[in-house]
Structures are given as C-alpha cells and as structure tokens.
Amino acid sequence: MEMPIADARIMARKAAIVRRLSAALPGEAVIDDPAELRAYECDALTAYACPPLAVVLPRSTAEVAAVMRICHEEGVPVVPRGAGTSLAGGSLPTADSVVIGVARLTEVLEIDYANRFIRVQAGRTNLAVTGAVEAEGWFYAPDPSSQLACAIAGNIGMNSGGAHCLKYGVTTNNLLGVTMVLVDGTVVEIGGPNPDAAGYDLLGVVCGSEGQLGVVTEATLRILPKPEGARPILMGFASNEVAGACVADIIREGLLPVAIEFMDRPCIETCEAFAKAGYPEVEALLIVEVEGSEAEIAEQMAKIRAIAERHDPDALRESGSEEESALIWKGRKAAFGAMGQIADYICLDGTIPVSELPFVLRRIGELAEDYGLRVANVFHAGDGNLHPLILFDANKPGDLQKAEALGADILRLCVEAGGCLTGEHGVGVEKRDLMTVQFTPADLEAQMRVKDVFDPHWLLNPAKVFPLEASAGRRGAAA
Amino acid sequence: MSVAGAASSVAAQEAAQATTGGYRPESEEELAGIIRAAGREGRPLRVIGGGTRDIGHPVTGTPLRMGALSGIRLHEPGALTLVVGAGTPLAEVEAALAAEGQRLPFEPWDGRALHGTGGTPTIGGVVAVNASGPRRVAVGACRDSLIGLRFVDGTGEVVRSGGRVMKNVTGLDLVRLLCGSHGTLGVLTEVAFKVLPAPATTVTLAFDGLTEAQALAAMTLALGTPCEVTGAAHVPKGIGDGPVTLLRIEGFASQVEYRAERLSAALANWGTPRLVEGEGDWPAIRDVRPFAGREGDVWRFSVKPSDGPALAASLRRIAPGAEVIHDWGGGLVWALVPEHTYGREALRGMAGHATLVRASPAVKARMGVFHPQPAPLARIEAGLRARFDPGGVLNPGRMGGRADMGKAV
C-alpha cells in the first residue's frame, strides 16, 4: 500500500510547529518525542505504521480549534484519532501530520431523559455512553464489537454499526448532533436535541466521513429505554443455503429480531474448539435474538421455531436462562479471539444482499482454495454485513500479501453480488484503492467535491478513503 | 384573496403545467442531456415529481417532469429492500410493499390536503423533501430508511451513492446529502430503501381533554417505556371534538394487548384512555389535515420535545388565534397562524428551526421558507450548491438565498 511522500518542508519546521502547539495547549498535551510517538504510529490495522510529526491530546473544543488554526496556518495535515481501534487504518498518520487524539475528551456533558438524549465529549467510549444511562434503564443502541475500547468520535467517523442494527440502525440513525471543528479552526454546531437539523443534511454527510471533513469534539446521541428482556435461540442447518432461506423466511414472516448472526462450518469448529460453547457439528449456525416481555419473547420464539422446523434443523436450542444465553453468545463473541489462537487473520467487512449469501459463500470457498488459504465466515445475516476472516501465517514470506489479495478478491465479489466494500469498518487506507471497483469516476468526483467544500487544501486525514490516483490533482494543487 | 387560496392557486398553476410543456425524460441519459443543455444555455429547470408538495420558494424555470422514470426495479421481501425509479407514484410503491406485508417505515406525509394540490405524489418527491410522518419518533425519518440513490447533478453527470444493502459506509454519504435537498443538488432518478414488516395489529390510546403540558408529560413518559410507541401526538383543538392526545402501539396481537395494558397503567394519572383499533386519526395528523383548506400561513417547527408547550404559548402571544399540532412526542410542531405572522420569532431562545411550509409567494419571499443558517454552515451549503450545480440550473432559489427576516433572530 502506497502513502504520499511526506512534505520535507513541513518536517523541517517540526520544532517551530511543536512550539506553537505547546504554547496553545499547556500541560503535557503535545507529544513530539520520537519514542512516545511510536504509540500513535498505527491503529488496529497494524500492518501499516508511520509515526506522525507530533500528537496533541486536547482537553476541550477550544483547544482542538486552536490546534486546527495553527495547523491550517502552517499548512500541516491533521489526522483525527478516536481510540485507535480502526481495522481499516482510518487513523494511520503520515510523517508530516499532526495527530489530534480525543482520548482526554471523555466527559458526559448532559443527560436529558425527558428528551431522550445524552451529550458527550467525542472521546468517550461507546460502552461508557450506555454506562452513563443504564442505571436509569436506558442504553445507546449502536454496539460495535470493540465497544469497550472504541470512541464515539471513531463511531461517527466510520458510521459504526454492531450486532443489533437490524432493529436499531447504525450510528447515523442514532446521532442527533455534533460539535465539529472545521479545518480552519471554526467551531460549528450541526443538529442538536431537536429531531432534525435545518438545511442540507450535513450531519448525515459528516457521519461516516472518516475525518475528511472536520474534527468532531462533542456529540448528541439518542438514547432508548432498555427492553424488558432478550433471549437467543441457536439453530443448526445442513447447508449455508438452508440457513439463508431460514433467515429470509423469518424476515418475511414479519418478525424483526434484534440480531441474526450466522457462522459457517470453519468458524463454528474454531470457535467451539476455543470457547467450548457446546455448538453442534453442523454446516451453518444461526443465533437469533428477540426482545420484549416474557410473553412477547415466547410468542416470537414459537414463530421462529416453527419457521426453523420447516427447514429440517440439525439442532435447535432455545435459551432457558441467563447462563444458557451467555453460553450461546460465548462462541460467537469469541470468534475473533479463537481465530487469533490458530493463525494470523485479516477481518473483512463487506456487505451483500442477504439473498446472495449462499452464492457468495460458495465463491469465497472456491477463491480460498485457489489461494491455498482458509476462510471462516461470520455474518450479520439480518443486515447483510459479512465478516470473512482470512487465516494466514505472518511468519511465512508472502502469506500476508496473498491474504490481502484474496481479501481484495472477496470484496470485489461482494460488490459484484450487489453489495459494497465496507459495512461498518470504513474505507481508511485498507480499501482506498478498491473504491474504483464500487464507484465510477463521476461517483468519486461527486464525493471529492464535498471534501473540497469542507477542506479546500486537503489537509484532513490524508490518503484515506479516495484512491491516491483519483485525488492526486487535488492534493497536488493544495500543496 | 386568502393566503391558502393564493398558495393553492400558484400550486394549481404548477399542477396544470405539470402535464403540459417542459421536459419529460424517459431515461437517465436523456435527463443528463437535458441538464447539460440547460447548463450550456443558462436556462433553469424546475424539477417536478408529482407537483403535490409546494414547499420552498417558487422556481422560475422550464418544468422537468420525472414521471417517466418510474417502476419498481427490485423488491426483495426476504431482505427488506426496495429499489424504485424516482418518478414512481408513492401509491404504487406502498401497494407493492403492502402485497408482501411490508411498508415504508417512515410514514411519508401527503402534501395534497395542506397545499390544496392535485396530482400524484412520487417517491422521488418524498425523498427530495425528506417527508416523514408520525412514526419518525420510533423509526427515524425518510433519510434513515434510504440506503441508496442515483441522481444527475447540475453538470449532467450521473452519480450513484449507497446501494441496496442496509449497512454501507463506503465513501462519503451523498444519500443523506441529497435527501431533503429539494432538487437543488441533483435530480433523483432512482432510490433504494430498507423497508419493514407491516404489523398485524395497531392500537391507539386516546386521552381526551389534556392540556399541552399534561400531554407532553404523558407522551414523554410513554416514550420512556420499552413499549415502543410508534406515534405520540397531541392536537389541542382536537380532530372533531376537544383536545386529544394519541399514543400508538403496533405489533402482533398479544404484544399490542400487553403493551396497551402496561401503558394505560403507567399513564393512569391522565385518566383511562379510549382504545382505537386500526389507523385511526394518524393519517389526518400525518397530512396536517386540521389545517387543510383554512386561511392562514402554516409553519413547521423542529424543537426539543420539552420546548413544545412553550413554543405554542409563544406563538399564541405573537399571533392570537394561532393553532398548533404536536407530533413526534413534542419534537414537531405544526402551526396555523394568521397571514404575515413571522412564526420563526416564536423560537427565540430555543434550540431548533422553523420552516414556512405554506404561504403566498410574497410572504415566503419576505420571511424566508427555510431557517437561516449560521454563517459557516451557510458557506458550506453555498459551496455544495456551487459544486453540484455550478450553472445554477437545478431549482434555483428553491431553498432561499433571498431576503430573509430571519437574519434578525
């Protein structure tokens, strides 16, 4: 993967730039020591790393604005960073950039149950948002797997989802407003506690923009009353096709489970070996979870069981207790850890029309065989978000490159099947050069025009989202 | 002439033109050619779906009718997805979904009653104005169900954003940017939605005689329970009789029965509700029918729900006789006020915004239809317009940019 050549003129001015930043941000808020900068050289996509010029850790919107003003005046690129959990390299620095980390912006600013929102600083973790309201019986719905660590800022940057978005939607559906610092240091408020913002839906554009348009420092988020209860059922089937048909039937019946998770045989076996969740030996496994009162759950479960019976399930296990529920989820939640035990892996994040699942899985199997690699599949079947895990050996020369090539082929397959390159991880640097598979030059041009408006000199989060070739003219002109 | 009359006569004129003269492209390519030619010749276009929603400033331009780009392109009931030509009648979309026991989640409102228009609402028009009804309080707006679209921008380029899958963060989100942009950034040719199952049973709890403050408290309490209330509205003048507060529950029969009981118990302080089965008064609230055919200007406010009663009081101070309807648990306030009332004034000191949805062109020109934006956001919006429609041919002036009394607020 190629990154633009760092601007030597900026790097030569490092000392002066750091002095200005330190003057604006008192008290250990600027990091420029090369050893300390190493901690910020990458995010969760560890295959690529590059220490930045400096890192700042502001404590307020005003401090972020001060940093942005300085960087704007100095012509220095800025890389916004949430908790650094991006799997797509969304906060990979360049050597001439200043990283703005939101790690110290973690406060709850306002909780308003009557109006059903919470306002937080953007560095607060996803789980800590729910943590602030759960004692009163409320929660924040989007629940990415990394929710213990990931920051709301990154959730907004990548429009994060989670296992429950079939019912509750993704970040953009739960975001009411942001405080954002524009590239020149101007602070804007978009949206707020009222249902929608005036004018164009700029909030919608900012959400999922991967730090291309500004730095979000505060967010107003919708909170929801917690459901009375939830219960999963585990179902095993003889083939991926049958499991896929069962999912379609559940949805056609008018049921709206909060989660429908799918695992294929390689995934089931690895998870079972690791987590001992008691998963049956089947070709395909579904975990379906429903919510509501005891009676509501019972009625939905009866319907789901009846549908499953029509597909001759090899296993059917409804949870009868908290412990059994935990056990059913244990294997699924251990999937990534389990894979990590047996091999290195790349986690992909394509989305496909649910109806294409059997075809796509069959084709992934064929591709994997061609490459001589193993692939295990976890799938949010309700919303079409597929996470193939490509297993490889990092110590074997050429294996990473082979795995990456297979990953690119699988994502191309997702697009061909009517889906997209990324459902919830974002494009970052990882899928940047595949964007032309999904988009025409005119599509990309339209997106880049939006960036031109917010960031005329292309200083924000360089070399992400857009193929370098497509953005070359703009970046060149800006330099 | 009354304001409602003036507004509807303009609309009637537009409706008449809607069937004669102008362009009616049969394909995306043809549309692109029309827009390129218009750009070359500096000739503005007025984009018309069904011509039923007279929202925004009047546009002078050659009519561009979208009715021929019609038809359902894909409906996968098992995947809850629908892809449809932008010119497709809304009724056709709703019928196709209903045949599979599904629906558009956001309950789009129909502008014909309020605006006194004829014609056939199209799905593209719904998206262009982000038309969302009472169920928005539970499932979000049109923009929340929209998962993809195709459009032709002001330079004649065909652009696609999003797709047919409900989880998609590939590239910048132009889907939401275009939704609610009133045809000023591009002309929609195709739209894709996440749809939802239609529930087996609908029950509305109706409380009579509550004050606005009581109604707000009841709605707030209901929306704070896990009963998944899908409509929460208060009509102080009632629909027929006196003040009425409505809370809607949808689901399968036993679920609705359980939730109705639970909610009634939780709301016992406000009396025993009447239970109304079926759609009840929701279509009337959705389409703002209490204000249809009546003299006066109509404003739409988006506020923090708890500010609803204060906003209503403030409106009545400015304009005695002002009537309101509270929807979305209080977050949406429709107001009918005497002609020339600067309704936006009532928002002073509150978070939110006001849109002048129905008024004569002269009043619209004086007051501004859309809420004035702070300078940095206004610059961004102007920048987007300049880049998506550099020649200014797509519905120029529809969203303002004229004299606006709001600058004083």
Helices (H), B18-50: 28-41
* B189 and B207 belong to one structural domain: no
Taking the Cβ of residue B349 and every Cβ of chain A, the question of whether any pair is shorter than 8 Å is answered with no
Instruction: Give the pairing type, strands B158-162 and B146-153.
Output: antiparallel
Interface of A with B in 13-72 (CB under 8 A): none
Say which of A194, A292, A454 has its CB closest to residue B380.
A454
CA dihedral B385, A75, A428, B139 (to 10 degrees): -40
Taking the Cβ of residue B142 and every Cβ of chain A, the question of whether any pair is shorter than 8 Å is answered with no
pTM above 0.90, yes or no: yes
Spatial separation of the C-alpha atoms in residues B298 and B37, rounded to whole Å: 37
* B74 and B153 belong to one structural domain: yes
Residue type, A203: L
B247 alpha-carbon distance from chain centroid: 20
CB contact under 8 A, A446 and B141: no
Say which of B157, B166, B258 has its CB closest to residue A295.
B258
CATH number of the domain located at residue range(s) A8-101 in this protein: 3.30.43.10
DSSP3 helix / strand / coil % (chain B, rounded to 5): 35, 25, 40
Asked if the A343-416 domain carries CATH number 3.30.70.2740, the reply is yes
First to last CA, chain A: 22
Provide the shortest C-alpha distance from residue B188 to chain A (in Å).
14
* B324 and B397 belong to one structural domain: no
> What is the value of ipTM here, to two decimals?
0.95
Backbone angles phi, psi at B20, to 5 degrees: -130, 145
Closest C-alpha to B234, from B364, B337, B330: B330
Given CA atoms A86, A87, A90, A93 in this order, what sign does their dihedral have?
positive
* B191 and B73 belong to one structural domain: yes
* B382 and B353 belong to one structural domain: no
For residue A247, the chain B residue with the least C-alpha distance is: B78
pLDDT category of residue A367 using cuts at 50, 70 and 90: very high
* B178 and B47 belong to one structural domain: yes
pLDDT for the residue numbered B15: 53
Spatial separation of the C-alpha atoms in residues A442 and A450, rounded to whole Å: 13
pLDDT digits (tens, 9 = 90+) for B110-140: 999 999 999 999 999 999 999 999 999 999 9
Spatial separation of the C-alpha atoms in residues B309 and B329, rounded to whole Å: 11
User: What is the number of structural domains in chain B?
Assistant: 3
* Angle separating helix axes A294-309 and A240-252, nearest 10 degrees: 130
Taking the Cβ of residue B332 and every Cβ of chain A, the question of whether any pair is shorter than 8 Å is answered with yes
* B215 and B247 belong to one structural domain: yes
A–B CB contacts, 8 A cutoff, strictly below: 247
| Contacts with A248 from chain B: Cβ below 8 Å | 78-79
* Angle at CA of residue B75, ends B74 and B81, nearest 5°: 105
Spatial separation of the C-alpha atoms in residues B290 and B325, rounded to whole Å: 9
Spatial separation of the C-alpha atoms in residues A382 and A167, rounded to whole Å: 9
pLDDT digits (tens, 9 = 90+) for A434-466: 999 999 999 999 999 999 999 999 999 999 999
CATH classification of the domain holding B301 = 3.30.70
pLDDT digits (tens, 9 = 90+) for A253-304: 888 899 999 999 999 998 998 889 999 999 999 999 999 999 899 999 999 9
CATH classification of the domain holding B229 = 3.30.70.2190
* B147 and B38 belong to one structural domain: yes
Closest C-alpha to B137, from A256, A208, A224, A200: A224
Tokens linked to A450: 């939006």
Backbone angles phi, psi at B367, to 5 degrees: -100, -20
Residue-range domain boundaries for chain A = 8-101, 108-225, 230-271+285-335, 343-416, 432-478
CB contact under 8 A, B163 and A418: yes
Strand order, beta sheet including A117-121: A108-112, A117-121, A215-222, A175-181, A187-191
pLDDT surpassing 50 at residue A35: yes
Spatial separation of the C-alpha atoms in residues B12 and B21, rounded to whole Å: 15
Taking the Cβ of residue B36 and every Cβ of chain A, the question of whether any pair is shorter than 8 Å is answered with no
Distances from the Cα of B67 to the Cα of A42, A461, B71, angstroms: 51, 42, 10
* B281 and B307 belong to one structural domain: no
Burial of B96 (0-12, 13-18, 19+ CB in 10 A): middle
Interface of A with B in 205-224 (CB under 8 A): 205, 207-209, 212
Instruction: Give the pairing type, strands B244-251 and B231-235.
Output: antiparallel
Residue type, B54: D
Given CA atoms B119, B125, B129, B132 in this order, what sign does their dihedral have?
positive
pLDDT for the residue numbered B179: 98
CATH number of the domain located at residue range(s) A108-225 in this protein: 3.30.465.10
Tokens 């297993």 correspond to what residue?
A391
E strand spans, A66-204: 78-81, 98-101, 108-112, 117-121, 138-139, 175-181, 187-191
Distances from the Cα of A109 to the Cα of A60, B148, B189, angstroms: 12, 34, 42
CB contact under 8 A, B167 and A182: no
CB A452 within 8 A of CB B387: yes
Spatial separation of the C-alpha atoms in residues B22 and B24, rounded to whole Å: 7
Largest CA distance in chain B: 66
Classify residue A238 by its DSSP letter.
Answer: S
CATH topology identical between A8-101 and A343-416 = no
Q: Mean pLDDT across chain A, nearest whole number?
A: 95
- The CATH number corresponding to A230-271+285-335 among 3.30.70.3450, 3.30.300.160, 3.40.50.1000, 3.40.630.30 equals 3.30.70.3450
pLDDT digits (tens, 9 = 90+) for B160-215: 999 999 899 999 999 999 999 999 999 999 999 999 999 999 999 999 999 999 99
Spatial separation of the C-alpha atoms in residues B234 and B211, rounded to whole Å: 9
Tokens linked to B285: 């609230």
Domain span at residue B275 reads 201-286
Tokens 């309807």 correspond to what residue?
B325
pLDDT digits (tens, 9 = 90+) for B210-268: 999 999 999 999 999 999 999 999 999 988 789 999 999 999 999 999 999 999 999 99
Spatial separation of the C-alpha atoms in residues A137 and A132, rounded to whole Å: 10
CB A466 within 8 A of CB A432: yes
Closest C-alpha to A314, from A284, A288, A290: A284
* B171 and B311 belong to one structural domain: no
